[in-house]
Amino acid sequence: MFSSKLEEQLNHQVSLESKASALYLSMASWCEKKRLNGAASFYYAQSDEERQHMLKVFKYINEMGGHAKVPSVNPVEAEFSSIKEVVERSLESEKTVTSSVHHLCELAREVQDFGTLNFLQFYVVEQREEEVLFGNILDRIELIGMEGQGLYYIDKELEALAKQKIKTEGLA
């Protein structure tokens, strides 16, 4: 039987993925306004990907006989001081999501729901990849610097990452 505690935590996961999708959409908008079009493409793709993550958990809850709940929409930050801050905030957000995924795994193990534990492995792998991705982008920003033509090259790097992501994740 589907544990109600697990159902509640999975619904919490839905809200975190939804919040991440909204945050990345807001970051895409900020980048676009700053004429950082490569970074904007990257964050639009990132936002789409988080929505897919949200839907995957959402559908799983109902499939298991639970009730998936649509999370309330809270305002997200719209202003950032720099692209570096945008990426730092992204990494911070991913770390919060990772903690929640790990907590869910512990809970699934505790209630001996091995099917859900298996379902969650996708998120364990995904979170590791996302943290590495944002960590690498921060390293590149440190290396390239944001002075002079630095911003232009950072934007180009994010544009390349966006193209890669759209292709590998099958995003529109």
**At its nearest, how many Å lie between ligand FEO and the CB of residue 19?**
9
Count of CB atoms within 10 A of residue 143's CB?
10
Q: Residues 84-113 vs ligand FEO: string with x where CB under 6 A?
A: ----------x--x----------------
> Is residue 53 a contact residue for ligand FEO (CB under 6 A)?
yes
Tokens of 91: 């990494």
- Within residues 119-148, the interface with ligand FEO by CB under 6 A covers 130
Tokens matching residue 92: 């911070």
Nearer to ligand FEO, 7 or 94 (CB): 94
Count of residues interacting with ligand FEO (CB under 6 A): 7
- The residue (of 97 and 104) whose beta carbon lies closer to ligand FEO is 97
DSSP 2: -
Within 8 A by CB and 6+ apart from 122, the residues are 56
- Pick from 7, 48, 50, 113 the residue near ligand FEO by CB under 6 A: 50
Q: How far is CA 133 from CA 90, 126, 158, in A?
A: 10, 10, 11
> Rounded distance, CA 9 to CA 134, Å?
26
Please give the single-letter amino acid code of residue 1. Answer: M
- For ligand FEO, the closer of residues 92 and 106 by Cβ is 92
Minimum distance from CB of 47 to ligand FEO (Å)? 10
